[in-house]
């Protein structure tokens, strides 16, 4: 495999490669260039060379590439699904969803290109005064392994259509998804350098990209620790950042909830993609009156989830991404059990398949409550009432998304206002996204929002322009 820089398929400068394995069966999936600082610099230079011509195109010209991309993805979507299943352990249903959602984002990005607008302003001194929005320049997009196609494309599509050029660095667990994105855009005929894809470790390639002086903006989705590091590095160059980081999202079920609906939402919110979603429902908080009934129905359903080969269309739960992640999840479960939590199901693993796990008697001191659990293990916490549920929910360094299940919608709206997070979904799980909606979090869950006009605000620069209509009198 090769990287894509300046419209060419190239090896790493060092000639080094790394192996990419299928998490389900451990087989070798691909051998990928191990880029370093030199490759990062090559890619930035290519993006920088391409930027003025790309920015000068009319939006109507730029969107033609995205119309073509829709056609290409319609034809080649199955290839993307196959890579997602084999490289990231995504079950077929989840991989298909990534492609489906991405088509919606392409349509939204096309629309957004024509919605970019400025404003005219009054002037205190009679000038004609207005502002315009322009591309920021070279954008670095750094993406994670959990929704590697959707989340890479969320950055790439909006950046490109708004007139920026891009260097994409995919996660080292899913480099082929990044390479596949380059292939799709190559077929579209994007001019050389407008999109570049560099594979390699975050520590070397990622940091070299973030610190390169010709980069204007960095958009990262990843762990909170990575976000902090990237923010620090970007601050030295006074560069813009958009950071979509981790979450420890609550799903609150109140006593008047429709329990069937609540259980459906909880099973999906907690376990879709093995629970490896930033906005997964990671803490299930139940109002006391329904705790017993909900828990018994929930555990019954969780035990019925099909765990196994992600390429089988019936599978609900595939492998977690790698051994380190599996051991981390298991440590978090073990810590809870050692401190007195009760295991209702799961708690074991086979290869990288971790059995969907539910724990009760969880306290706020346990790691499984305090930390982001990026795998299929979920704690249940019982609250006295809605107020206490909100307090428990807010007891987190994170603040990404939340779900509230209740028939009392006005009460849920009041709770939504008090929850410290960027998104709240009433009568649904915390897992929900739409291309044009403001996706993002507060506290350690990040800075900025992505999607539609919110991406536009992050990825364009405002320029104030005035026209002096008559001769002006100056004080000196
Ligand atoms: P990660 O932070 O380990 O890696 C994310 C990306 O950053 C990778 O491409 C990695 O190579 C790169 N990177 C790592 N160190 C870097 C550095 N020092 N400088 C520059 N780049 C660096 O995250 P991950 O394990 O791939 O993804 C899981 C995390 O992402 C979870 O915490 C999850 O909650 C979060 N996530 C957030 C969202 C969101 O939208 N808020 C969505 C999905 C995942």
**Nearest to 329, CA basis, from 342, 347, 317:** 347
Q: Looking at the structure, do residues 410 and 369 belong to the same domain, yes or no? A: yes
Rounded to whole angstroms, the Cα distance separating 17 from 33 reads: 4
pLDDT attached to residue 220: 98
CB atoms within 10 A of CB 360: 19
pLDDT attached to residue 150: 98
Is residue 470, in this structure, part of any structural domain at all? no
Confidence of residue 259 (pLDDT cuts 50, 70, 90): very high
Is residue 473, in this structure, part of any structural domain at all? no
Q: Looking at the structure, do residues 301 and 203 belong to the same domain, yes or no? A: no
Name the phi and psi angles at 10, rounded to 5: -130, 155
- The H or E element spanning position 462 is strand 460-467
Tokens of 261: 């609906």
- What is the Å distance from ligand 1's center to 238 Cα? 21
Place of tokens 């890619």: 43
DSSP 320-374: -S-HHHHHHHHHHHHHHHHTT-EEEE---EETTEEPPEEEES--TTSHHHHS---
Q: Looking at the structure, do residues 367 and 305 belong to the same domain, yes or no? A: yes
Q: Looking at the structure, do residues 285 and 232 belong to the same domain, yes or no? A: no
Total domains in the fold of the chain: 2
397 contacts 425 by C-beta, under 8 angstroms = no
pLDDT attached to residue 274: 98
* Ligand 1 pocket test target in 35, 226, 248, 325 with most atoms within 8 Å of CB: 226
Is residue 401, in this structure, part of any structural domain at all? yes
Tokens of 12: 């790493």
We report the CATH number of the domain holding residue 81 as: 3.40.605.10
pLDDT attached to residue 111: 97
pLDDT attached to residue 36: 98
Which atom of ligand 1 is closest in space to residue 201's alpha carbon?
A: 11
- What is the Å distance from ligand 1's center to 411 Cα? 35
272 DSSP 8-state letter: G
- 418 vs 285, 378, 385, CA distance in Å? 16, 23, 14
Beta-strand pair 165-169/138-142:
parallel
pLDDT attached to residue 3: 98
Segment 72-121, tens digit of pLDDT:
999 999 999 999 999 999 999 999 999 999 999 999 999 999 999 999 99
pLDDT attached to residue 320: 98
Q: Looking at the structure, do residues 274 and 194 belong to the same domain, yes or no? A: no
Rounded to whole angstroms, the Cα distance separating 298 from 267 reads: 7
Rounded to whole angstroms, the Cα distance separating 187 from 51 reads: 20
Place of tokens 């990534």: 98
We report the CATH number of the domain holding residue 329 as: 3.40.309.10
- What is the Å distance from ligand 1's center to 181 Cα? 18
pLDDT attached to residue 263: 98
Is residue 435, in this structure, part of any structural domain at all? no
Which atom of ligand 1 is closest in space to residue 173's alpha carbon?
A: 26
119 DSSP 8-state letter: E
What is the overall mean pLDDT for the chain? 98
- Per DSSP (E only), the strands in 143-238 are 165-169, 195-197, 217-221
Rounded to whole angstroms, the Cα distance separating 362 from 337 reads: 9
Average pLDDT for 416-441: 98
Q: Looking at the structure, do residues 253 and 227 belong to the same domain, yes or no? A: no
Average pLDDT for 235-239: 97
Place of tokens 């970019």: 116
Is residue 339, in this structure, part of any structural domain at all? yes
Confidence of residue 240 (pLDDT cuts 50, 70, 90): very high
Which atom of ligand 1 is closest in space to residue 439's alpha carbon?
A: 40
Q: Is 222 in the pocket of ligand 1 (CB under 6 A)?
A: yes
Helix count (H) and strand count (E) of the chain? 14, 24
Place of tokens 């069937």: 260
Could you give the dihedral angle defined by the CA atoms of residues 333, 337, 342 and 344, in that order, rounded to the nearest 10 degrees? 30
* Ligand 1 pocket test target in 222, 278, 279, 329 with most atoms within 8 Å of CB: 222
pLDDT attached to residue 238: 97
Q: Looking at the structure, do residues 380 and 455 belong to the same domain, yes or no? A: no
Q: Is 74 exposed, middle or buried (0-12, 13-18, 19+ CB in 10 A)?
A: exposed
Tell me which residue has its CA closest to atom 11 in ligand 1.
Answer: 202
Q: What percent of the chain has pLDDT over 90?
A: 100
pLDDT attached to residue 28: 98
Is residue 335, in this structure, part of any structural domain at all? yes
Contacts of 58 (CB under 8 A, 6+ apart): none
461: containing domain: 3-245+445-465
Is 244 labeled as catalytic in the residue annotation?
yes
pTM assigned to the model: 0.97
Segment 290-330, tens digit of pLDDT:
999 999 999 999 999 999 999 999 999 999 999 999 999 99
Q: Looking at the structure, do residues 233 and 307 belong to the same domain, yes or no? A: no
Is residue 432, in this structure, part of any structural domain at all? no
Q: Is 88 in the pocket of ligand 1 (CB under 6 A)?
A: no
402 contacts 250 by C-beta, under 8 angstroms = yes
Q: Looking at the structure, do residues 186 and 44 belong to the same domain, yes or no? A: yes
Q: Is 211 in the pocket of ligand 1 (CB under 6 A)?
A: no
Segment 380-422, tens digit of pLDDT:
999 999 999 999 999 999 999 999 999 999 999 999 999 999 9
Which atom of ligand 1 is closest in space to residue 374's alpha carbon?
A: 31
Segment 128-166, tens digit of pLDDT:
999 999 999 999 999 999 999 999 999 999 999 999 999
- 388 vs 20, 177, 336, CA distance in Å? 45, 43, 21
Q: Looking at the structure, do residues 273 and 177 belong to the same domain, yes or no? A: no
Q: Looking at the structure, do residues 226 and 335 belong to the same domain, yes or no? A: no
Q: Looking at the structure, do residues 331 and 394 belong to the same domain, yes or no? A: yes
pLDDT attached to residue 113: 96
CB atoms within 10 A of CB 438: 16
pLDDT attached to residue 340: 98
Q: Is 171 in the pocket of ligand 1 (CB under 6 A)?
A: yes
- What is the Å distance from ligand 1's center to 224 Cα? 8
Segment 20-76, tens digit of pLDDT:
999 999 999 999 999 999 999 999 999 999 999 999 999 999 999 999 999 999 999
Q: Is 4 in the pocket of ligand 1 (CB under 6 A)?
A: no
287 contacts 253 by C-beta, under 8 angstroms = yes
Is residue 141, in this structure, part of any structural domain at all? yes
DSSP 409-461: HHHHHHHHHHS-SSEEEETS-S----TTS-B--EETTEES-BSHHHHHHHHEE
């Amino acid at each position: 495999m090769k990287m894509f820089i300046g419209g060419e398929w190239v090896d790493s400068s060092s000639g080094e490669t790394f192996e990419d394995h299928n998490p389900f069966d451990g087989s070798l999936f691909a051998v990928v260039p191990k880029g370093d600082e030199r490759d990062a610099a090559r890619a930035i230079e290519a993006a920088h060379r391409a930027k003025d011509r790309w920015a000068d195109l009319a939006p109507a010209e730029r969107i033609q590439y995205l119309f073509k991309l829709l056609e290409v993805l319609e034809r080649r979507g199955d290839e993307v699904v196959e890579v997602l299943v084999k490289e990231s352990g995504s079950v077929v249903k989840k991989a298909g969803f990534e492609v489906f959602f991405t088509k919606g984002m392409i349509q939204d990005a096309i629309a957004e290109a024509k919605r970019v607008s400025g404003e005219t302003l009054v002037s205190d001194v009679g000038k004609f005064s207005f502002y315009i929005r322009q591309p920021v320049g070279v954008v670095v997009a750094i993406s994670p392994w959990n929704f590697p196609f959707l989340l890479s494309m969320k950055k790439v599509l909006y950046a490109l259509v708004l007139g920026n050029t891009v260097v994409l660095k995919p996660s080292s667990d899913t480099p082929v998804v990044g390479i596949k994105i380059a292939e799709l855009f190559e077929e579209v005929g994007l001019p050389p350098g407008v999109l570049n894809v560099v594979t390699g470790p975050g520590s070397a390639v990622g940091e070299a990209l973030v610190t390169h002086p010709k980069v204007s903006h960095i958009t990262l989705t990843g762990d909170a620790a990575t976000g902090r590091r990237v923010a620090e590095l970007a601050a030295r160059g006074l560069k813009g950042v958009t950071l979509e980081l981790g979450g420890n999202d609550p799903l609150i079920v109140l006593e008047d909830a429709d329990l069937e609906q609540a259980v459906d939402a909880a099973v999906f919110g907690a376990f879709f993609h093995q629970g490896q979603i930033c906005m997964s429902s990671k803490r299930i908080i139940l109002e006391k009156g329904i705790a017993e009934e909900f828990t018994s129905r929930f555990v019954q359903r969780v035990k019925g989830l099909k765990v196994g080969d992600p390429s089988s269309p019936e599978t609900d739960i595939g492998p977690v991404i790698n051994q380190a992640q599996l051991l981390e999840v298991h440590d978090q479960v073990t810590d809870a059990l050692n401190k007195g939590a009760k295991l209702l199901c799961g708690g074991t693993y086979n290869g990288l398949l971790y059995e969907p796990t539910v724990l009760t008697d969880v306290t706020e001191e346990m790691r499984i409550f305090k930390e982001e659990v990026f795998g299929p293990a979920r704690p249940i916490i019982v609250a006295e009432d809605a107020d206490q549920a909100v307090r428990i929910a807010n007891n987190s360094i994170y603040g990404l998304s939340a779900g509230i299940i209740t028939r009392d919608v006005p009460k849920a709206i009041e709770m939504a206002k008090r929850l410290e997070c960027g998104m709240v979904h009433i009568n649904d799980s915390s897992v929900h996204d739409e291309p044009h909606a403001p996706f993002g979090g507060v506290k350690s869950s990040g800075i900025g929002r992505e999607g539609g006009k919110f991406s536009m605000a992050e990825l364009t620069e405002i320029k104030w322009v005035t026209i002096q209509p008559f001769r002006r009198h100056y004080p000196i």
